[in-house]
Structure 1
Amino acid sequence: MPTDALPSRAQVVVVGGGVIGTSVAYHLTKLGWTDVLLLEQGRLSSGTTWHAAGLVGQLRASESGTRLVQYSAQLYASLEAEVGLSTGWKPVGGVTVARTADRMTQLRRTAASADAYGLDCTLLTPAEARERWPVMQVDDLVGAIWLPGDGTANPTDLTQALARGARLGGARIHEKVRVLDVLVTDGRATGVRTDAGDVEADVVVNCAGQWAKQVGLMAGVTVPLHSAEHFYVVTEQLGGVRPDLPILRDPDGWTYFKEEVGGLVVGGFEPEAKPWVAPDQIPHPFEFQLLEEDWEHFSVLMESAIERIPALRETGIRTFYNGPESFTPDNQFILGRAPEVPNVFVGAGFNSVGIASAGGAGRALAEWIVEGEPTSDLTAVDIRRFARFHGNNRWLRARVAEVLGLHYEIPWPHREMRTARPFRRSPLHDRLAASNASFGSRMGWERPSFFAPPGVSPEVAHTWAKPGWLPWVEAEVTSTRTGVTVFDQTSFSKYLVTGPDAERALQWLCTADVAVAPGRTVYTGLLNARGTYESDLTVTRLSATDYLLVSSAATTVRDQDHLRRQMPAGCAATVVDVTSSYAVLGVMGPRSRELLSRLTSASLTDFPFGTSREIDLGHATVRATRITYVGELGWEIYVPTELAVGVHEDLMSAGADLGVMNGGYHAIESLRLEKGYRAFGRELTPDHTPVDAGLLFACKLRTDVDFLGRTALEAARARGPLRKLVSFAVASPEPMLWGGELVLRDGAPAGQVTSAAWSPTLGSCVGLAYLWDPGGAPIDAEWVRAATYAVDVGGVRVPVTVSLRPLVDPEGLRIKA
């Protein structure tokens, strides 16, 4: 603890002295921000960091996540030479074993992802796995993978090394100083109140671990976290265990193992976790403390561990650790600028992967603070993926019991959370449930994935192969291509941008020209200064001063934060969230005009694509917008929420003789991929430009109207795309693709599938994929065409045909019908 008094002011105050807080402070100083004050209520690492297992597994579900952890490993290996303190880094590698064929399919997919990211990964037989981990039995194993880049770090040593680095860079660290409040004036944080006095600050960074939800509430910021008890034991010395023994993960047995002083750390992620107290009831002080032993709860892990390592049956236990850790509702950590208070940042909720993530996440958050925006794709962990309603403690407690167990569950395609549902419901929810819908969830909304036939359960077992629900989705797709289907798309995010300067604001924010006549709808991107995507949406001009923006369900908070923060200074325009005010019914298919004409007096023949009008529909007055995300003639019908049930009844009744069907989001996915339509978060991310995505047609580059990201976009266009998005179709009808598969160009890794689905229209799987030159050179259409392609489907290379045009109706004739 420093002997000097607490300063009265700092440029940045970091709350929390665990591995995340010290990493942020260290990286801020590396970026030249030296006036950094870190406050820790106890001692450094004394909250949840000190009892972490310290595993660093580099390969993550996404490229951006993998890059973060790769940097962590590099930092931990080099930090001692810089600061003179050891991080305890041991590059021992990692073995992950599979007990089942399904798990082995996942590991083959993992190995293919490693190829896409340039990470070393080797498939192993059970015998080869035992050579690397001699003390385990392998009789029940199907196979394994070897990741030589994995390692372990000592959490306390790592924290102290990062703190030393921060101090050397000019940061001040005060222990035993508790933050009591975050001071906010006129919507901005002005500093913190502590038990040692007030400190003014330009920026406050909340890295308070399982206390981060409480600290967030001090500033009016929602940080959705709940703690769960987390268990591991340290055994006595065990024959055959050596210091360089790799990490062993046995996810089918929910367990992991690492060497510790000749014995083993044995821990895991049990399927049903044990929530701890509510976030506002965490005791203080709680410094270097553990919870009571619970051998009964731990028994499921210990019994599984003995199956893998029979010698554990005769080995004593040295220490039992029960240390609470905080978890988020979706098992991804929280990073970024709080949308409620623009100079408050959060780095918390690391879901037991804090040691692995701390280096990369600390650097990413520090860059965000210094640059004002993220410097890479952090969408999956961005705090803006959550809304205020996610902060409900009872909801979080119900969810956390499931989240911890997801660490080692097979990441099944379309896997949905089971707990704390149903949550947000469309006014049509009960009608759709009665029609045998199977529901998924997005931003808390219950959304129909597909509809099972009458009398058949909509619950289907997960699989990597073709699922049992495929014929039902095929019927919905066929209905949309040949007849008419009604989709409940109420979960769309909807905003009004209103005011005398609405046009000027949106011309700056949008890539497309939105200076259109009232009643016109425009598809557009929203970019950042780097010229990469922050969102994509449709903009409908309602009047001289009013626009309706419609976006994806998941981006409600993110979009509004971007629109408000990036609006030009002095613009008299306001963003209003009207998401819950309107239900949305997509009426799609070649017979959609016929169906709607039965219910309205409006002319639907004189209703061009990209037009939006108020019309009567049955007894209701609605907004009908002629647009499509499925590649067919159709309208999105915006209905006041209280009228939605009546409109849906009218549509289904009037369309009965036309064979009208309800449709779900799995069908939308197949339909949009047949047409090559992009989706934010998959094809459109903060790592991709409109040049990469093939969407320059939605950019007003032929005008002299400036817009956010234009300068960077023009430079990208002049250089050419480093990644190019293509459509593809699998040559055989047999393989089932889900997205994430490795793409091979002339047999060499050269891309990754972003989205894939079964195409009833083409009779095989189709999708979208980004291609890149392994040498990093820009690529063009000729480069794409001058090769043959395959995708790695669970270890099997399957030929595909690549196209730069939509696979179905490339001329768009159906849309213009």
Structure 2
Amino acid sequence: MSLPKEARVVIIGGGILGCSIAYHLGKLGWGKDTVLLERKKLTSGTTWHAAGLVRASLYSESLTKLAKYTTDLYTTLEKETEQATGFVQPGSLSVATSEARWEEFRRGADMLQSFEVECIELDRAGVQEKWPLLNTDDVIGGIFYPKDGKCNPADTTMALAKGARMKGAKIFEDTKVEEVLVENGRAVGVRTPSGTIKAEYVVCAAGMWSREIGEKLGVNIPLHACEHFYIVTEPMEGMTPDLPVMRDMDQCAYYKEDAGKLLLGAFEPKAKPWGMNGIREDFCFDELPEDFDHFAPILEGAMHRVPSLQKVGIRKFFNGPESFTADQRYILGPAPELKNFFVAAGFNSIGIQSGGGAGMALAHWIVDGEPPYDLWEVDIRRLQPHMSRKSFLVPRVSEALGLLYAMHWPYRQFESSRNVRQTAFYEDWKAMGACFGEVAGWERPNWYAPKGVKPEYEYSYGRQNWFPYAAADVKATREGVALYDLSTFAKFLVVGKHAETLLQRLSTADIAQPGRAVYTQWLNEKGGIEADLTVFRITDTKFMVVTAAATAIRDWHYMKDHIQPGEEVELVDMTTSYATLGVMGPKSRALLSRITDADLTNAGFPFGTTKHIELGDARVRATRISYVGELGWELYIPAEFARNVLRKVLEAGADLGVRPAGMHAMDACRIEKAFRHWGHDIGIKDTILEAGLGFTCAFDKKVPFIGRDAVLSQKEEGRLGRRMVQFKLTDPEKLLYHNEPIYRNGQLVGLVTSANYGHHLGGAIGMGYVHNKAGVDAAFIAEGKFEIGVALERCQAQASLAPMYDPKSARMRA
């Protein structure tokens, strides 16, 4: 078979993801227009040596849907293709040997049950029954997942490849892609030693080679290989095919029956990065050198857990490379830097489990122009350019591998590759006792330690060590004045003759208001929320868009991609040009009035106003807006003046009790005020009316916003079967984090999307969507008895459609 000259889609990489994408493009009718190119042989990179574990769940609703899809697909794939896959479903068992791990598992089980994933809580005796060879002396309990399974990764990939061929796809082995062809910022094909293929779309599913391919194209794909170890024993008594896969995460180990033998694998705390100097050209089905000393602690723990291991020999010690990412989540979707170039890579040892679902999702993304679910958590546009630098990536992936089985603490911070990006205030906050967290590479104060206390996290599922300090920050914000470092906001100037036209087309609100900071959403054609941000009008032809650090790349490219041919618009990233200081609380006006001559009264500076003022020795843009629900200003300060302004603010507010406050306090305040957070409470599959944000919509603008017709259509229906609701647990000792199930009169009706402790309201506060086909209105909420699941215990909760704190926003407008 000769290489075609044209194709609709060219896929680079013949592992399980590449073959799955080809298979699913075939199912969507694009099979005859799909070509897959593999540099060596199918599965020869990472897929062939994967352990083949298949779970029907992951750590969020959308990723669990993909995992369940994979499981369902693998149950039918062999029959469909007549190619063996080795897929069986003996279930999986996770055992806990600490109270903290047991709570983690129980909270996870609560979440998964709300996703209709079957999971069964077992006591010690139940664990022993499921795995008779187990030493359960130190086991507290376990969770059994009946639908989980295992497969032969190479055979499963071959089945997907055969299925793709049956639908018309062409697969070529020993065909290396030497170059991705680019014209006018768009991928248009590939060049190989056997010829050139023109294509409408190019997909990079090249595993640990993906970063190198992206680098040549200016596409950021931050992943790196680590060595991954497992052993296979000699035949072992008691190793029967019906044994579930077993995970002892406290000992960093997993166990799988393998043809009467035991496969023992590890996710050790500190992994060994591999391939720092590149991957040699002839790499194909290669193994890496053994490192028994590195694996020895895992084996020692395993001999305690499965004592009969002490009496059996090791048939195979395996070491092979797998790619890991900077944040433990895989990379999927359209590259923002290059149109029509898609990526599916960096699967962090869950590539077999994710193969079916991720392949299906990317195929739909290509064909339909959007993913089937909200996949922001794995979207390539979440990743920052600095994450691809080896100085950052190599230490980070060494930590990331081990974190797969480490405790998944609330608020857990990465320890490696820190202090990459610092705000202008960093040294000041550090001197004041800040404990920093990281977002998009930025160091932000999450909380402040008083004198004599180390600014370090002590993790738990209970009240962590910073809890009382965050409570004090909230008190200062609600009663006095607190300072927040908001410098990590992304700040984009939008300049030009058609700047207003572009932003009106994108924004639900009317942003053509001189001197105003306007809160708005950007929607897609279906009314889903693509962005949640603020637009400042500076002049007739100059605007500033302010958005979150985490969504900076996504929002920049969303805006850029919507500039129409012939429109005169220039975008300028001003993020690092300005430090931003939030001065928040009822005493903020009194403080700022001491260091500016500007009129800060309600008449002189109404809520939503943005303008330049003289403040101390600097000219700053002061914007009266708040994410904490109090009177306050965001001060946009030229970076070189930032520390001077901070010093003046601290001096002026000393007798007012001014204090710095961290992000934990800000989040607690916004949760009390029921302010939404994009990526948790709102996203591309949530409509603006369901989210309770319809008040931002200006339906009569001269330039209609994208998604207007969809919003009007839903509005005309007259009732909403899904709405965002705020909850407060009646027991003040219980804590919420997110993904807890919501029950009304004993029936599951939703899931908590974000949560924190409401220090002012005196209880854990959560937000989440409540579902009811007949409509969710005030009566439905008022007449229901609501409970929220916390570690398999149902806790009574109050529910409200309106914010529980200051529902009329009188305090912000005071």
Q: Do they fold alike, i.e. is TM over 0.5?
A: yes
Greater CA drift, 332-341 or 726-735 = 726-735
How far apart in 2 are the matches of 1:123 and 1:375?
31
Tell me the SS of whatever aligns to 1:541: strand
Does 1:484 pair with 2:481? yes
Matches within 5 A, 1:254-273: 254-273=252-271
8 Å CA contact retained: 1:741, 1:791? yes
Deviation string, structure 1 residues 113-148 (Cα, Å, up to 9, x no partner): 012111111110011011111111111101100111
Deviation string, structure 1 residues 490-513 (Cα, Å, up to 9, x no partner): 001111111111111111111112
Q: Tell me what 2:320 maps to.
A: 323
Tell me the SS of whatever aligns to 1:474: helix
Q: Tell me what 2:338 maps to.
A: 341
Counterpart residue identity of residue 661, structure 2:
G
Label 1:126 to 1:717 Cα distance change in 2 as closer, same or farther (>3 A). Answer: farther
Q: Tell me what 1:523 maps to.
A: 519
Does 1:301 pair with 2:298? yes
Match of 1:566 among 562, 566, 580: 562
- Alpha-carbon shift at residue 436 of structure 1 (Å): 0.5
Matches within 5 A, 1:402-421: 402-421=399-418
Deviation string, structure 1 residues 641-690 (Cα, Å, up to 9, x no partner): 11111111111111111110001100001100110000011101122111
- Alpha-carbon shift at residue 284 of structure 1 (Å): 1.6
How far apart in 2 are the matches of 1:302 and 1:711?
61
Query: Structure 1 vs Structure 2: percent identity of aligned residues?
Result: 46
- Alpha-carbon shift at residue 748 of structure 1 (Å): 2.5
Deviation string, structure 1 residues 459-514 (Cα, Å, up to 9, x no partner): 13101111121111111111111111111110011111111111111111111121
How far apart in 2 are the matches of 1:410 and 1:364?
29
Counterpart residue identity of residue 474, structure 2:
V
Match of 2:72 among 71, 74, 87: 74
How far apart in 1 are the matches of 2:632 and 2:348?
43
Tell me the SS of whatever aligns to 2:59: coil
Greater CA drift, 404-413 or 236-245 = 236-245
8 Å CA contact retained: 1:501, 1:545? yes
- Alpha-carbon shift at residue 705 of structure 1 (Å): 4.4
Matches within 5 A, 1:758-777: 758-773=757-772
8 Å CA contact retained: 2:501, 2:703? no
How far apart in 2 are the matches of 1:717 and 1:90?
47
Deviation string, structure 1 residues 47-104 (Cα, Å, up to 9, x no partner): 0000001111122111001000100011111112222112221111111100000001
Does 1:603 pair with 2:599? yes
Counterpart residue identity of residue 661, structure 1:
R
How far apart in 2 are the matches of 1:384 and 1:759?
32
Tell me the SS of whatever aligns to 1:179: coil
- Alpha-carbon shift at residue 785 of structure 1 (Å): 2.1
Greater CA drift, 732-741 or 637-646 = 732-741
How far apart in 2 are the matches of 1:7 and 1:180?
16
Greater CA drift, 256-265 or 81-90 = 81-90
Greater CA drift, 596-605 or 526-535 = 526-535
Counterpart residue identity of residue 585, structure 2:
G
8 Å CA contact retained: 2:250, 2:405? yes
Q: Tell me what 2:753 maps to.
A: 754
Q: Tell me what 1:23 maps to.
A: 20
- Alpha-carbon shift at residue 777 of structure 1 (Å): 5.3
- Alpha-carbon shift at residue 354 of structure 1 (Å): 0.2
8 Å CA contact retained: 1:693, 1:725? yes
Match of 2:571 among 571, 575, 581: 575
Q: Tell me what 2:580 maps to.
A: 584
Counterpart residue identity of residue 394, structure 2:
R
How far apart in 1 are the matches of 2:29 and 2:244?
38
8 Å CA contact retained: 1:625, 1:635? yes
Counterpart residue identity of residue 285, structure 1:
D
8 Å CA contact retained: 1:183, 1:219? no
For structure 1, the 5+ residue unaligned runs are: none
How far apart in 1 are the matches of 2:9 and 2:216?
17
Label 1:139 to 1:716 Cα distance change in 2 as closer, same or farther (>3 A). Answer: farther
8 Å CA contact retained: 2:109, 2:791? no
Match of 1:663 among 661, 664, 678: 661
How far apart in 2 are the matches of 1:494 and 1:721?
35
Counterpart residue identity of residue 27, structure 1:
H
Counterpart residue identity of residue 190, structure 1:
V
Q: Tell me what 2:29 maps to.
A: 32
Q: Tell me what 1:47 maps to.
A: 45
Does 1:281 pair with 2:278? yes
8 Å CA contact retained: 1:508, 1:568? no
Tell me the SS of whatever aligns to 1:689: coil
Counterpart residue identity of residue 255, structure 1:
A
Tell me the SS of whatever aligns to 2:103: helix
- Alpha-carbon shift at residue 570 of structure 1 (Å): 3.1
Does 1:85 pair with 2:101? no
Q: Tell me what 1:535 maps to.
A: 531
Tell me the SS of whatever aligns to 1:417: coil
Tell me the SS of whatever aligns to 1:666: helix
How far apart in 2 are the matches of 1:566 and 1:511?
15
Matches within 5 A, 1:437-516: 437-516=434-513
- Alpha-carbon shift at residue 789 of structure 1 (Å): 0.9
How far apart in 1 are the matches of 2:299 and 2:710?
55
8 Å CA contact retained: 1:508, 1:567? no
How far apart in 1 are the matches of 2:355 and 2:774?
32
Q: Tell me what 2:813 maps to.
A: 816
Greater CA drift, 328-337 or 467-476 = 467-476
How far apart in 1 are the matches of 2:739 and 2:578?
34
Does 1:743 pair with 2:737? no
The number of residues matched between the two structures is 810
Greater CA drift, 409-418 or 370-379 = 370-379
How far apart in 2 are the matches of 1:146 and 1:303?
25
8 Å CA contact retained: 1:509, 1:567? no
Does 1:434 pair with 2:431? yes
- Alpha-carbon shift at residue 528 of structure 1 (Å): 1.6
Q: Tell me what 2:9 maps to.
A: 12
Does 1:175 pair with 2:178? no
Q: Tell me what 1:65 maps to.
A: 63
- Alpha-carbon shift at residue 703 of structure 1 (Å): 5.0
How far apart in 1 are the matches of 2:275 and 2:642?
41
Deviation string, structure 1 residues 134-166 (Cα, Å, up to 9, x no partner): 111111101100111111121101111111111
Counterpart residue identity of residue 584, structure 1:
T
Does 1:190 pair with 2:173? no
8 Å CA contact retained: 1:231, 1:268? yes
RMSD (Å) for aligned C-alpha atoms: 1.3
Match of 1:388 among 385, 388, 407: 385
Q: Tell me what 2:138 maps to.
A: 140
How far apart in 1 are the matches of 2:68 and 2:433?
45
8 Å CA contact retained: 2:386, 2:392? no
How far apart in 2 are the matches of 1:139 and 1:355?
33
Match of 1:593 among 581, 589, 593: 589
Label 1:37 to 1:511 Cα distance change in 2 as closer, same or farther (>3 A). Answer: same
8 Å CA contact retained: 1:724, 1:772? yes
For structure 2, the 5+ residue unaligned runs are: none
Greater CA drift, 73-82 or 620-629 = 73-82
Match of 2:787 among 790, 796, 804: 790
- Alpha-carbon shift at residue 780 of structure 1 (Å): 2.9
How far apart in 1 are the matches of 2:33 and 2:212?
25
Matches within 5 A, 1:109-124: 109-124=107-122
Counterpart residue identity of residue 235, structure 1:
T
Q: Tell me what 1:779 maps to.
A: 776
Counterpart residue identity of residue 477, structure 1:
V
Q: Tell me what 1:154 maps to.
A: 152
Question: How does the TM-score come out when normalised to structure 1?
Answer: 0.98
8 Å CA contact retained: 1:512, 1:525? yes
Matches within 5 A, 1:221-240: 221-240=219-238
Counterpart residue identity of residue 591, structure 1:
K
Q: Tell me what 1:726 maps to.
A: 725
Label 1:315 to 1:714 Cα distance change in 2 as closer, same or farther (>3 A). Answer: farther
